[in-house]
């Protein structure tokens, strides 16, 4: 699902009305009907709604939603913010449809800002996706007052004051903090990033039939991955397959006291479908690995009990390195040897990333299309600091282009950045997955998919999706606080059944 900016959304709306031979007001009615239905399904008939409308098309949406709620016997109070002499046609047409139904209140100055009933649900339809300037005057004061209230707040399309384009975002701006945001056909980029997402609350995309043909022609650097996208890239197994068909993972890592990370990663590589997996650890890991993961093989390279060092001989296996690795100076040299010896895409995680951050010149010898899986702090060590999400995404694109690699930037809506600058945001996962070892499981899953001959970008996207889905299935049974990384491994199979 492509993510569009404000100008593209406007073009898409116009094209849809022309293609489907409908008027803009009919498209607005379609959107309003979807919103009103969502609100009716969520809130009982005795609910009171306070609907705040601006003078543009977002305000027109709010007026139409209010009319549809009134038609279903809900109690509604409508407020129009008169901040300009100009109005949109959609606003005027919906205003005309309401004049005989309800008395509409106008807010012209701060003295007109009303007290809000304690249990009233606030509908924010003041400013839509097109806003590109800070909110001022009476609108600023109103939003600041609304943000102080405990009332539930539902934003239509986007919270007022929050821009689609994150380049325009400033935490100094006045932005409505919504509990829920109802948007249309696709999320906005600002819904998916840590500095802006908290204004959005829980968001829901409602399909309103925007032109699929025109969507295909719009170029966007950002996509939101959902289950239908995953089904398109998932491979089926041939009846005559054997374990060699599904590849061999060489999972490299571990150090004294950190073999657990290797257990998780190695198990995950097998659980996601790799035919074979070998754990490459220091000697202290041999007995633990052979006991904990009997399905895997073990190897090492020198009689060192505590950390990896020494020579490395390349193989035809799919290499993943980093879980529990440590950053001993001799281990750093060992990583350098692995990088030089490996000619096919590999997975690089955890301490392997931290070592690269200390030896940035080694990034130049990464095998092309290798997959790095940093969490935000590890990523910052690689690229340096950034002041906002726009700069972070810019540096992310520059990094993948410079080093011809894929980066899986872990977090809520994990971002998978391709070599060509395309960034894919994930739809699965939950805060319960913020637990030790979760990233090691992801490393194993991506490596296991890469071994099965998924393209590197598809291995990254599919691995992230299944990892999050395993987390979602886990919390349904045991709750977020109780989730541990081993649960994710155990639910990988169930995740694949839900695709």
The model's pTM is 0.96
pLDDT of residue 420: 96
Tell me if 300 is assigned to a ligand binding site: no
Segments in the chain below pLDDT 70: none
User: Has 134 been labeled as part of a binding site?
Assistant: yes
Q: Which of 267, 393, 382 is nearest to 323 (CA)?
A: 267
Residue 61 annotated as binding?
A: yes
- Check whether 468 is labelled as a binding-site residue: no
CATH number of 230-497: 3.40.1190.20
130 is in an annotated binding site: yes
Cβ proximity of 403 and 366 under 8 Å: yes
Q: Can you name the residues that pair with 2 across neighbouring β-strands?
A: 223
Largest CA distance in the chain: 87
The yes/no answer on whether domain 6-219 falls in CATH 3.30.70.260 is: no
Instruction: Determine contact, residues 406/372, Cβ cutoff 8 Å.
Output: yes
Q: How far apart are CA 296 and CA 285, in angstroms?
A: 13
Residue 315 pLDDT: 86
Q: Is 248 annotated as a binding residue?
A: no
Quote the pLDDT of residue 5. 94
- Say what the pLDDT of residue 259 is: 98
Residue 166 has what pLDDT?
Answer: 86
The answer on whether 205 is annotated among ligand-binding residues is no
390 is in an annotated binding site: no
The full set of domain ranges for the chain reads 6-219, 230-497
479 is in an annotated binding site: no
Q: Residue 130 has what pLDDT?
A: 81
345-395: per-residue pLDDT in tens? 999 999 999 999 999 999 999 999 999 999 999 999 999 999 899 999 999
410 assigned to a ligand binding site: yes
161 labeled binding residue: no
303 annotated among ligand-binding-site residues: no
Is 57 marked within a binding site? yes
Q: Check the annotation: does 261 bind a ligand.
A: yes
217 labelled binding-site residue: no
Ligand-binding site membership of 413 (annotated):
yes
């Amino acid at each position: 699902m492509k993510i569009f900016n404000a100008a593209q959304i406007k073009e898409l709306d116009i094209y849809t009305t022309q293609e489907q031979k409908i008027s803009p007001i009919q498209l607005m009615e379609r959107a309003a009907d979807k919103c009103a239905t969502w609100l009716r399904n969520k809130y009982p008939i005795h609910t009171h709604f306070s609907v705040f409308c601006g003078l543009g098309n977002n305000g027109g949406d709010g007026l139409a939603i209010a009319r549809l709620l009134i038609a279903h016997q809900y109690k509604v109070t409508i407020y129009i913010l008169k901040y300009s002499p100009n109005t949109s046609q959609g606003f005027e047409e919906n205003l005309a449809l309401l004049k005989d139904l309800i008395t509409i209140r106008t807010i012209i100055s701060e003295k007109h800002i009303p007290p809000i009933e304690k249990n009233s649900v606030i509908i924010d339809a003041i400013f839509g996706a097109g806003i590109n300037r800070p909110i001022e005057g009476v609108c600023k004061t109103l939003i600041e007052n609304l943000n102080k209230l405990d009332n539930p707040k539902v934003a239509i399309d986007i919270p007022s004051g929050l821009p689609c384009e994150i380049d325009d975002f400033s935490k100094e701006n006045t932005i409505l903090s919504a509990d829920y945001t109802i948007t249309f056909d696709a999320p906005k980029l600002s819904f998916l990033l840590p500095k802006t997402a908290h204004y959005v609350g829980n968001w829901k995309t409602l399909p309103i039939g925007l032109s699929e043909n025109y969507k295909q022609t719009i170029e966007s650097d950002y996509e939101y991955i959902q289950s239908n996208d995953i089904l398109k890239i998932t491979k089926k197994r041939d009846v005559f397959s054997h374990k060699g068909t599904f590849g061999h993972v060489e999972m490299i890592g571990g150090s004294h006291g950190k073999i657990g990370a290797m257990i998780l990663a190695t198990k995950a590589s097998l659980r996601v479908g790799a035919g074979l997996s070998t754990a490459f650890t220091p000697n202290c890991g041999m007995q633990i690995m052979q006991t904990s993961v009997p399905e895997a093989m073990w190897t090492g390279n020198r009689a060192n009990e505590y950390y990896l060092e020494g020579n490395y001989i390349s193989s035809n296996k799919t290499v993943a390195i980093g879980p529990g690795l440590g950053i001993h100076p001799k281990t750093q040299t060992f990583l350098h040897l692995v990088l030089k010896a490996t000619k096919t895409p590999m997975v690089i995680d955890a301490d392997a990333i931290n070592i690269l951050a200390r030896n940035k010149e080694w990034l130049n010898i990464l095998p092309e299309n290798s997959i790095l899986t940093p969490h935000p702090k590890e990523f910052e060590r690689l690229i340096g600091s950034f002041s906002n999400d726009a700069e972070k995404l810019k540096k992310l694109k520059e990094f993948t282009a410079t080093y011809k690699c894929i980066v899986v930037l872990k977090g809520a809506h994990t971002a998978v950045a391709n070599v060509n600058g395309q960034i894919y945001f994930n739809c699965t996962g939950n805060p319960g997955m913020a637990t030790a070892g979760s990233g090691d499981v992801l490393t194993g899953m991506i490596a296991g998919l890469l071994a099965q001959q998924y393209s590197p970008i598809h291995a990254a996207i599919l691995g992230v999706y299944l990892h999050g889905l395993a987390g979602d299935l886990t919390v349904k049974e045991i709750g977020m606080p109780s989730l541990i990384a081993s649960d994710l491994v155990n639910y990988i199979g169930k995740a694949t059944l839900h695709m």
